[in-house]
Amino acid sequence: MNTLIAEPQATNIHFDNDIMWVDLADGRQLGVPLAYFPRLMNASDTERAKYIISGGGVGLHWDELDEDISVSSLLAGIGDRHRQVA
């Protein structure tokens, strides 16, 4: 038996004060605290709005912020693995 499990795919992103909301193709909506991603937390609304959904929906990218996030990592509860230097 051959089974194919599709990766979760993002269709849209929006933000409120403390949360990044990711809409998924299967109808789920994922809320992730911005505190998990300091570059997004410290970014302006304009910078946050300049995202690209890549790989058919499996990746989220902000070129100006040098931020790349996989949707599967969000679902696994994995935040930013890069340590920001003060």
Query: Per residue in 4-53, pLDDT tens?
Result: 677 899 999 999 999 999 999 999 999 999 999 999 999 999 999 999 99
pLDDT in the model for residue 80 = 79
In a domain, 84, yes or no: no
Domain count, the chain: 1
Q: Which domain holds residue 62?
A: 47-72
Task: Read off the pTM.
Answer: 0.85
What are the pLDDT digits (tens) for 59-82?
999 999 999 999 999 999 888 766
pLDDT at 37: 96
Q: Is residue 61 part of a domain?
A: yes
Residue 20 lies in a domain: no
Q: Is residue 39 in a domain?
A: no
Helix (H) or strand (E) holding 19: strand 19-24
Task: Look at residues 69, 64, 62, 65 and name the one whose alpha carbon lies nearest to residue 84.
Answer: 65
pLDDT number for residue 1: 55
